[in-house]
Amino acid sequence: MIHSLRQFGRAMNISAILVRYRLDELLQEAQVFRPMLVTRLFSFFPRKKVANMPRGERLRLALQEMGPVYVKFGQILSTRRDLVPPDVADELALLQDRVPPFSGEQAREIIENALGGSVEELFNTFEVEPLASASIAQVHAATLPNGDDVVVKVVRPDIEPQLRRDIDLLKYLAGLVERYWDGSRRVRPLEIVREFETFVFDELDMQREAANASMLRRNFENSEELYIPAVYWPYCKDRVLVLERIKGLPVNDIEALREAGVDLPALARRGIKVFYTQVFRDNLFHADMHPGNIMVDVSDPANASFIALDFGIVASLTPKDLHYIAENFLALFRRDYFQVARLHVDAGWVPPETRLDELEAAVRSVGEPNFTRPLNEISFGKLLMKLFQVARRFNLQIQPQLIMLQKTLLNIEGLGRQLHPDLDIWAVAKPELEAIMAEKYGIDQTARRMAQRMPGWIGKAPEMPGLVHDFLRQATSGQLRTRLESADLEAIRKTQQTTERQRWKRFSGGVVLLSGALLAGLQAGPWQLAGWSVSGLLLMLAGGFMLWRARP
């Protein structure tokens, strides 16, 4: 619930923005707020002249007017192409996370409180004017006492209460959507908001971001393909991050890259290789690789490399998901649709009772139309997105990390095609993935992993006969118990509780209504009005309201 007048006022302000951009019409079409009068109350507000704008553009403009938190929420929502219509996702991807900077003096104060010294003592130089400003933090240029050029990232002051206020409001609105919109089970709005909450609050922790950057840098140490700035750990705290300052050209400035003599086709192929290396070799990938976070080192134009920035969103997969997604990729490369279907079942992404022939046919309906196109036009990211959408008919449950993987793949493919429109992504990706898998799951690597685990297995060996004996004894005596831990069982339990509550409410409402009818009919009670018992009428109204609230 909304606990304060301030939040209530914020909710009313957001409702007015939705109406001004005619987004209330979308809510009415979806029957989201059927019992509410919000849209009618605001129908008297002046509406912007947006009647001819597409719905996605109207939503993007509305989110920009709502403020930074909603801009970031729209950015995260744009990655959920398995849930959001393509036209809306494309527009939300255009949202720019740019907000006015806070004062340099406030930044100085935050830095001094975090690092325990004055800015003059900590840095040789410190630029009060920020280089960039976003909703979570802003960046200042500085020079360390040893002469190293660095950037200082400072979290906005008092940002947590603002984030908490708006995220709580988003949760409240998502709860209303889940309650009143029949299509909410497919979209799962509360799950999306919770996912957004995790990402946003993770981005507040500069120590976490520093650790992400440090690990990525270690993975690509001495690499000629990707450079990660160095972390200056003595200067990193929860709200302050200091990184090496790297200069390069923006990756989307194609003309500047051409003028510098960069081999654009080679750079595009290098970007695809970097993605597959991060995901399948290291299982740690930069999950926010839009053009604003990537630069190009052109000091050697013939061997230009990428520079990654902003490590607030870095993701990894579980070993099981990583193995199955890699096998899925290889099966799709080979057009082995039955293998794709079987892998979905083996991974537990779809229920075990799923008919493989039906799932195979659904996968084939996605794959074959794409393979009829020229290879340089095929997008593996879009193919993966369509595969997820089709598999939802079979109760596919995708983890957020897999969605971030798909979103990152779309970003990398879009970047590669921007650098080199004729890029054959499949020709680059297939041998790269096959080489990584051969090395990672080959005989030598498997033997190495077994050797590492052998001491642990040997240490547990004396316990095994006793465990086997206890298991067999319990099984033969009927004492063996199975413990079930499942989200499905929890959902069933909640559904049963909800049903019981509704039954109790209907019973209570019926009793109150009947009592009121008896009082009214008998003209009993302390007050009478035109021969009717006022108390009886009030009880009848209360009972009727209780029955209405207890409806399914």
Q: Which of 56, 72, 96 is the last residue of a domain?
A: 96
Same domain, 130 and 165: yes
Residue 122: predicted pLDDT? 95
What number is the average pLDDT over the span 177-199? 72
CA-angle at 154, arms to 149 and 159, nearest 5°? 170
Tokens coding 152:
């200082």
Whether the predicted pLDDT of 253 surpasses 50: yes
Tokens coding 131:
């280089």
Whether the predicted pLDDT of 490 surpasses 60: no
pLDDT, the chain, mean: 78
Same domain, 134 and 216: yes
Alpha helix (H) residue ranges in 315-379: 319-333, 337-346, 356-371
Whether residue 307 is contained in a domain is answered as yes
Same domain, 254 and 237: no
| Closest CA relative to residue 406, chosen from 328, 304, 310, 469 | 328
Same domain, 294 and 432: yes
Residue type, 363: V
Q: Which of 50-54, 113-117, 321-325, 535-539 has the lowest mean pLDDT?
A: 535-539
pLDDT tens-digit series, residues 406-437: 778 888 888 888 899 888 888 888 888 888 88
Tokens coding 140:
């200042």
For the ranges 206-215, 357-366, 521-530, the maximum mean pLDDT occurs at 206-215
Tokens coding 21:
């951009």
Residue 497 and residue 489 in contact, taking contact as beta carbons nearer than 8 Å: no
What is the distance between the alpha carbons of residues 382 and 24, in angstroms, rounded to a whole number?
30
Choice between 219 and 373, residue whose per-residue pLDDT is larger:
219
**129: containing domain:** 98-246
What is the distance between the alpha carbons of residues 408 and 317, in angstroms, rounded to a whole number?
13
Same domain, 394 and 346: yes
Q: Which of 431, 455, 479 is the last residue of a domain?
A: 455
What is the distance between the alpha carbons of residues 344 and 324, in angstroms, rounded to a whole number?
8
pLDDT tens-digit series, residues 89-137: 788 877 766 678 899 899 999 999 999 999 999 999 999 999 988 888 9
Residue 316 and residue 401 in contact, taking contact as beta carbons nearer than 8 Å: yes
Whether residue 473 is contained in a domain is answered as no
Please give the share of the chain, as a percent, with pLDDT higher than 70.
Answer: 71
Q: What sign has the CA pseudo-torsion 333, 400, 318, 389?
A: negative
Tell me which DSSP letter residue 233 carries: G
Whether residue 460 is contained in a domain is answered as no
What is the distance between the alpha carbons of residues 449 and 453, in angstroms, rounded to a whole number?
6
Catalytic residue of the set 168, 288, 321, 336: 288
What is the distance between the alpha carbons of residues 295 and 306, in angstroms, rounded to a whole number?
6
415: Cβ contacts below 8 Å, ≥ 6 apart:
251, 252, 268, 271, 289, 291, 294
What is the distance between the alpha carbons of residues 7 and 13, in angstroms, rounded to a whole number?
10
What is the distance between the alpha carbons of residues 394 and 399, in angstroms, rounded to a whole number?
15
- Indicate the pairing of strand 137-143 with strand 149-155: antiparallel
Establish whether 263 is a catalytic residue. Answer: no
| Closest CA relative to residue 104, chosen from 78, 141, 73 | 141
Q: Which of 95-99, 181-185, 400-404, 441-445 has the lowest mean pLDDT?
A: 181-185
Alpha helix (H) residue ranges in 377-442: 380-391, 400-419, 425-440
pLDDT tens-digit series, residues 303-313: 999 999 999 88
Same domain, 262 and 411: yes
Same domain, 543 and 433: no
Tell me which DSSP letter residue 277 carries: I
Whether residue 482 is contained in a domain is answered as no
Choice between 364 and 468, residue whose per-residue pLDDT is larger:
364
Same domain, 305 and 287: yes
Whether the predicted pLDDT of 486 surpasses 50: no
What is the distance between the alpha carbons of residues 395 and 427, in angstroms, rounded to a whole number?
33
| Closest CA relative to residue 294, chosen from 339, 262, 251, 246 | 251
Same domain, 189 and 302: no
Helices 55-66 and 68-78: angle between axes, nearest 10 degrees: 140
Q: Which of 28, 63, 96 is the last residue of a domain?
A: 96
Same domain, 395 and 344: yes
Same domain, 395 and 520: no
Tokens coding 372:
């009829």
> Quick one: which H or E segment has residue 88?
helix 86-92
Same domain, 109 and 38: no
538: Cβ contacts below 8 Å, ≥ 6 apart:
516
- Number of domains into which the chain is organized: 4
Residue in this structure with the two tokens 């870095």, named with its chain if needed: 314
Residue 442: predicted pLDDT? 66
